[in-house]
Chain A
Amino acid sequence: MPEATIILNAAAIQRALTRIAHEIAERNESGAEVVLAGIPLVGDQLAFRLGKILSEIWKLPVPVGVLDVSMHRDDLAHRAAPQVHQTVMPFDVTGRTVVLVDDVFFTGRTTRAAMDALNDFGRPKNIQLAVLIDRGHRELPVRADFVGKNVPTALTEKVRVRLDIPGQPDEVVLEK
């Protein structure tokens, strides 16, 4: 059993999301142009939570999509095939601001794959990135626009975000 430290508890996760939502609202004056696209398995859950908070701030519905990136990954031939999840993008992204939502920002390769995957659905006006945890160790020149918490980590450590698991509190855990 690896040694595990709780980085964020349920209340802290919700506070971080509320702050990110306000930052998204501050950056994007016209809420009607903004859609969210969450990356499974956890980013989509975060996106739905963010969408709910944002729709309360803007007083209008904020469309939320699920964007699976497994078919666009750059390591497909290097490891066993990843689990593919359903992509559901129930809106046109062309001309809109798409906020990608992911749980842990690490190498940046998932974000690159997500931008490629998004490309198949149209040409967004711009793409922004919201993440709950930024753990560093970027391998590509990408950065996040909205960050819940910066967590310096060693490469060998693992960050796990657990949301909506029955019988377990929401939490972010750092495993050594």
Chain B
Amino acid sequence: MSWYRKHLLDIESLTADEIVTVLDTAKAFKAVGERAIKKVPALRGKTVVNLFIEPSTRTRISFELAAQRLTADIVNFSADASSFKKGETLKDTARNLEALNADFIIIRHSASGAPHFLSRVVEASIINAGDGAHEHPTQALLDAFTIRERKGKIAGLNVTILGDILYSRVARSNIWALTKLGAHVTLCGPSTLVPKTFEQMGCRVTHNVDDAIREADIINLLRIQHERQRKTMFPSIGEYTNLFGLNKARLAKTKPDALVMHPGPINRGVEIDSEIADCSRSLILEQVTNGLAVRMAVLFLLNGGQGPQGVAGS
């Protein structure tokens, strides 16, 4: 157990031990959410800013509630209401937030590396809530938490990520986290969205969905991100659904205990059939619950100072 980082910028630079530290810490925070009083004073007096320069509802609300349950004050700053439209730079915006004594800045930005840049220009702790197609670390952590909780382990499991991998920061963060923790990761989708180059990250790449999910313990579905595609990468949504959508017939050919995940928002009838999204093998809503616990854990760990680790009983 160890955590001495000030920022959470990506999964790539974390060690397996650090990832496990977040998951273990999140377990205790999940229990807080199940109590009558769902709040602890760990971040009392701290100020958290949600700086979302790209639309998001669930991640922003999840961070917002996480900060509130830790007794921090939280301010939301979104792209449409902000001064970006008036031409202010990201650096100036962040420095303005810092002038208000923000202790944490949670940033979502369409440019890869924006959180890393911020971490160099301000004193606050930076949390990456999604940067371009690069990384979405808390999503990978909550996915790993959900898998570990349901399967009791991660090492040795077969995890298939199905969908738009090329444009997906969720996929990249998941690949880093899962391979560091010893899972076997298979990627599947149209060849235009799942290039063979991903094999360099230690994954198996296939374009045949039945082959991808046959031995899977976990099937993680990703949304087709229309907003990130500059040109058409596959002929039609209908064809995508026919070739790669998870339906009852396909799920019947998987292991009986294979579980289905999706980071949301889901497109019913596109990448996932409605009845599968709602079935007992779907972890989609558990992921939302666990996301809150994981984000509380991340805020709690980053809040730690520089000294030796605090020890119970002293």
Residues of chain A having any CB pair with chain B under 8 Å: 39-43, 68-73, 75-87, 102-104, 106-107, 110, 116-117, 120-121, 161
Of A39, A43, A85, most B-chain CB atoms within 10 Å: A85
Residues of chain A within 8 A (CB-CB) of B24 are: 83-84
Residues of chain A within 8 A (CB-CB) of B312 are: 39-41, 43, 68-70, 82-83, 85, 110
In the assembled complex, the CB of B4 is this many whole angstroms from the nearest CB of chain A, namely 6
In the assembled complex, the CB of A40 is this many whole angstroms from the nearest CB of chain B, namely 6
The answer to whether A81 and B28 have CB atoms under 8 Å apart is no
Residues of chain B within 8 A (CB-CB) of A79 are: 304-310
Which of B30-38, B55-63, B227-235, B284-292 lies at the interface?
B30-38
Residues of chain A within 8 A (CB-CB) of B309 are: 79-83
In the assembled complex, the CB of A157 is this many whole angstroms from the nearest CB of chain B, namely 12
**Number of chain B interface residues as a range:** 35 or more
| Distance in angstroms between the alpha carbons of A80 and B305 in the assembled complex | 5
| Smallest CB gap from A44: residue in B | B312
The answer to whether A102 and B313 have CB atoms under 8 Å apart is yes
Residues of chain A within 8 A (CB-CB) of B297 are: 84
**Interface contacts beyond A43-B312, A84-B24, A120-B39: sample of 13 additional A-B pairs, CB < 8 Å, sorted by A:** A68-B28, A72-B40, A72-B41, A75-B310, A78-B305, A79-B309, A80-B2, A81-B3, A83-B312, A84-B300, A110-B312, A120-B35, A120-B36
Residues of chain A within 8 A (CB-CB) of B276 are: none
| Distance in angstroms between the alpha carbons of A36 and B71 in the assembled complex | 28
B303 at the interface (CB under 8 A from A): yes
| Distance in angstroms between the alpha carbons of A76 and B304 in the assembled complex | 6
| Smallest CB gap from B308: residue in A | A79
Interface string of B19-32 (1 = CB under 8 A from A): 00000110111011
Interface string of B265-306 (1 = CB under 8 A from A): 000000000000000000000000000000001001111111
| Smallest CB gap from B27: residue in A | A86
Q: List 26 A-B pairs, Cβ < 8 Å.
A: A43-B312, A43-B313, A69-B312, A72-B41, A73-B42, A76-B42, A76-B300, A76-B304, A77-B46, A77-B303, A79-B305, A79-B309, A80-B3, A80-B4, A80-B310, A82-B304, A82-B309, A82-B310, A84-B24, A84-B297, A86-B28, A102-B313, A103-B313, A110-B314, A120-B35, A120-B37
Residues of chain B within 8 A (CB-CB) of A104 are: 313-314
The answer to whether A81 and B301 have CB atoms under 8 Å apart is yes
Residues of chain A within 8 A (CB-CB) of B311 are: 82
| Distance in angstroms between the alpha carbons of A83 and B28 in the assembled complex | 10
The answer to whether A86 and B31 have CB atoms under 8 Å apart is yes
B249 at the interface (CB under 8 A from A): no
Residues of chain B having any CB pair with chain A under 8 Å: 1-4, 24-25, 27-29, 31-32, 35-37, 39-43, 46, 297, 300-314
The answer to whether B28 and A76 have CB atoms under 8 Å apart is no
Residues of chain B within 8 A (CB-CB) of A117 are: 40
The answer to whether B28 and A107 have CB atoms under 8 Å apart is no
Residues of chain A within 8 A (CB-CB) of B305 are: 76-80
Residues of chain A within 8 A (CB-CB) of B302 are: 81
Of B37, B40, B42, B306, the contact of A80 (CB 8 Å cutoff): B306
Residues of chain A within 8 A (CB-CB) of B36 are: 120-121
In the assembled complex, the CB of A87 is this many whole angstroms from the nearest CB of chain B, namely 6
The answer to whether A71 and B35 have CB atoms under 8 Å apart is no
| Distance in angstroms between the alpha carbons of A80 and B313 in the assembled complex | 16
| Distance in angstroms between the alpha carbons of A42 and B312 in the assembled complex | 9
Known contacts A78-B307, A79-B308, A86-B28: does B40 contact A71 (CB below 8 Å)?
yes
In the assembled complex, the CB of B132 is this many whole angstroms from the nearest CB of chain A, namely 29
Residues of chain A within 8 A (CB-CB) of B31 are: 86-87
| Distance in angstroms between the alpha carbons of A40 and B2 in the assembled complex | 17
| Distance in angstroms between the alpha carbons of A87 and B30 in the assembled complex | 11
| Distance in angstroms between the alpha carbons of A42 and B313 in the assembled complex | 8
The answer to whether A41 and B313 have CB atoms under 8 Å apart is yes
| Distance in angstroms between the alpha carbons of A110 and B301 in the assembled complex | 19
Of B35, B41, B304, the contact of A81 (CB 8 Å cutoff): B304
In the assembled complex, the CB of B249 is this many whole angstroms from the nearest CB of chain A, namely 41
In the assembled complex, the CB of B296 is this many whole angstroms from the nearest CB of chain A, namely 9
The answer to whether A85 and B28 have CB atoms under 8 Å apart is yes
The answer to whether A71 and B42 have CB atoms under 8 Å apart is yes
